[in-house]
Structure 1
């Protein structure tokens, strides 16, 4: 039987355990029949509604913490992309037949991520097992059934804990190696021949989320400099390895190609032979002080920003093309140029700085422009730190962030 012949929706509904699907905003996307039966709810009372509107804490119990614990677990999964098994939870449920009355219930929850094509958490699998019978049976003296159930639960909990510990150790090792590889392949902050550049790199939070962002600064013939950033789809060691190959290829191509567009064309042809380079994005710029212009070309990447000394921000978005490998045939890439003045600041970055889930990219670009204007009088190093402080979430982003600033 092929995947096309399997009714996965029917399989989901027939699962013998309680399983629900949640969006990253913790709204029920679906719930199987067993979940609805055991929780005493209908589909209409669950699907499309916020989790904690459907199942709030018992307002009559000042010590109730089931909602807080569950929310913390789900947010950990969203931040790290890792499965999270919770300790046994008391989480009372309001009676459907007798509104206002709360039934004492105990649950064993496990939350797991479903990753989308971009490597980010697209859905949360929320599986719960009710163990109320076990907990209440423990209070019955000499209960054989209670002892059997308790032994089974303890064994399953220990097995799950061991699996989670092995996964965390493996993910931690992968993150450590990937970060070391990424750091070794990215160039150190440099002074170009004539002008200073500030660079920053911030890895994503969570052991699975080391990504393939890169930056590069090179001296070009004629006293020009090339500045580039790029982003490989995916996470971990594989993405870091692909990043290194693409960065090196673009760095070499930019030194000999006739402008940024030609350099990206060479990179696109090379990327066809690199497994994992599909849909990678990059932007290449060439700063020419003789003509006081910046030539640029983008392969599906967020546009560079040019902060002028008069406090205006110009986004370099007039030469944008699809990501690497998006077209089956080779097509020439566009190139544009813009003028700059002395003291202007060129800003290149990866999407972790501006993109947020469920938010239009223009909103993030607006935040970037506002932050640049707000800190335009700062020196370059201070400006770089201020941008990260203003734009990255307090707990860290779920995507890598590379940032390059050049004072012109």
Structure 2
């Protein structure tokens, strides 16, 4: 008699089932029990762990202890507790695959699915993981190579996020005895920016004030309220009110209007020379310290009620602590630690574990994680805390401050009176600024300004051939207030430039456009140019998943000139006294001596000195149809704007395309 319903057929012979399981190209794990004991792992899973022995039968925490602090075990615990699947895309994991103690980077997409016993009770889970490292790195490379991709993405975001960027600091001060890093991300995909804020202010007495706060609500009103509170707090700190006085001032101001009431804030003043800390807070989660030995020390803050609510006033006496050399102070907003179904203590503990792991992982050199420890803590902690609990449900801000054992040594370099020495000077100064953590824009401006000062000295201080012992010396030092002072000195006698309408004499104007202050002192023993300007490092303000800004990189050392069609020449590398003749010749060749209308694309230029400015003035005289393309934020674009040559620029959105009209207008309109 035939059965009433369908009959389940066997999955196959045990050997065939195991063979199929082994050969699946994705990583497959099966866990049992609350300790997540490994009961099955296919070949790809074992390979992801470097085929380490004793995988099956042991809890995954014992199999892969390096995953502690990377929110993997927390995700397993969440699936076990809730009995619900968890899906994630493009998550970075660091694993000791070679067994040498150093962690290698990979990116994965995963699905965690709970499994049950026949009676319905939890048995464990199966985990399906796909390696997507190649796709992620390809996308990162494409984003990095497109200089305007981040600006285009930001322009398409919600207008409130643009407001948030305008109200938060665009950079953090670069100090000799402290290194800072900050990360602000918007919750979810809707980019409804809210009221988180942070600040970092060097004080006149050499101390550093930092603050992190949170205004209730989202949208333009919360952002505007945040901006007002940040301004009041900064003014009070700079006026020497201290942490308690600053909280009292914020409390009085917040009570004036509804939008600023119930905000929370934590204010810290650090003396980087001694490590002494003063901390006060108003209803804000406590800061903590990641110590050099990988431990966490919480700073108990006797904070009062939220600002402006009439609750208990902020504590009149601040908490004192001390930051040792290499220790990292971490301030944050509650968006990082609040998770549905989890207590605040659980969130705080997870945050601390994640910060310690991020700061003390020994990562392979070719990984894309930041090199500096304080940068890794800021970037990876926020990234990883967004993995669990459905992602970030509120804006999240993290500000990290590391007290450095010693400041950067003063910069000093002497170059011979030869234009080829300019490359050595630019390369060495760029490396010094990179080591100090200076942001790309500030570093580019300073290197360019110093290069101009050295070029002027080489061209005007010495006759040709130069006398024995002639040279140009550059010295730089970073002050406690985040300001760098650079002197460029020669021992010659200044010779004025010839009367030349081609653009000579613009070097001093360019320097003053690139740095805050330029002083020139001449005398019988030579000329000294002193440049002074504040330095900052980049802050990324954006949505969850954004990558931290890249560090400073040295400029290309060779001039490149590539013909990209009959009417377009793309130039890259430095245009300075050593390469300007080649630049001029290549432009004349591409324009056929003036017979062809030519656009020169300067976006790839790393240095555009006054020699390049002079060359462009001469070329525009000889080539009436000459057009230039340079994005507003590029090296050449900034110089062209400073030197009155931006009238040669085409529409910055694109270089000319084949079919453009000879007069330079586009046939496409």
TM-score, scaled to structure 1: 0.54
Partner of 2:256: 273
1:149-228 matched pairs, under 5 angstroms: 176-194=158-176, 195-207=178-190, 209-228=192-211
1:368 aligned to 340, 351, 372, which one? 351
Partner of 1:321: 304
Deviation at 1:208, TM superposition (A): 7.4
SS at match of 2:260: coil
Q: Which has the higher helix share?
A: 1
SS at match of 2:360: coil
Partner of 2:335: 352
RMSD: 2.5
1:2-401 matched pairs, under 5 angstroms: 176-194=158-176, 195-207=178-190, 209-327=192-310, 333-377=316-360, 379-393=373-387, 396-401=391-396
Deviation at 1:331, TM superposition (A): 6.4
SS at match of 2:268: strand
Greater relative contact order: 1 or 2 (C-alpha under 8 angstroms, separation 6 or more)?
1
Larger radius of gyration: 2
Say which is worse superposed, 263-272 or 394-403, in terms of deviation: 394-403
| Regions of 4+ moved over 6 Å | none
Q: 1:144-188 CA deviation, whole Å, 9 max, x = no partner?
A: xxxxxxxxxxxxxxxxxxxxxxxxxxxxx9981211111111002
8 Å CA contact 2:208, 2:272 repeated in 1: no
Assess, with a 3 A threshold, how the Cα gap between structure 1 residues 208 and 374 changes in structure 2: closer, same or farther: closer
Deviation at 1:197, TM superposition (A): 0.8
Partner of 1:57: none
SS at match of 2:267: strand
In 1, Cα distance between the equivalents of 2:295 and 2:191?
38
Count of residues in Structure 1 that have an aligned counterpart in Structure 2: 238
8 Å CA contact 1:272, 1:278 repeated in 2: yes
8 Å CA contact 1:271, 1:277 repeated in 2: yes
Deviation at 1:330, TM superposition (A): 5.8
In 2, Cα distance between the equivalents of 1:304 and 1:380?
15
Partner of 1:403: 398
Deviation at 1:326, TM superposition (A): 2.6
Q: Provide structure 1 residue ranges, at least 5 long, that are not aligned to the other structure.
A: 1-70, 72-172
Assess, with a 3 A threshold, how the Cα gap between structure 1 residues 329 and 393 changes in structure 2: closer, same or farther: closer
Assess, with a 3 A threshold, how the Cα gap between structure 1 residues 303 and 329 changes in structure 2: closer, same or farther: closer
Q: Provide structure 2 residue ranges, at least 5 long, that are not aligned to the other structure.
A: 1-83, 85-154, 362-372, 404-669
In 2, Cα distance between the equivalents of 1:327 and 1:317?
23
Assess, with a 3 A threshold, how the Cα gap between structure 1 residues 371 and 270 changes in structure 2: closer, same or farther: same
Deviation at 1:318, TM superposition (A): 2.8
8 Å CA contact 2:278, 2:318 repeated in 1: yes
Deviation at 1:334, TM superposition (A): 3.7
Deviation at 1:350, TM superposition (A): 0.7
Deviation at 1:273, TM superposition (A): 1.5
Q: 1:315-353 CA deviation, whole Å, 9 max, x = no partner?
A: 222332211023268666341110121000011111111
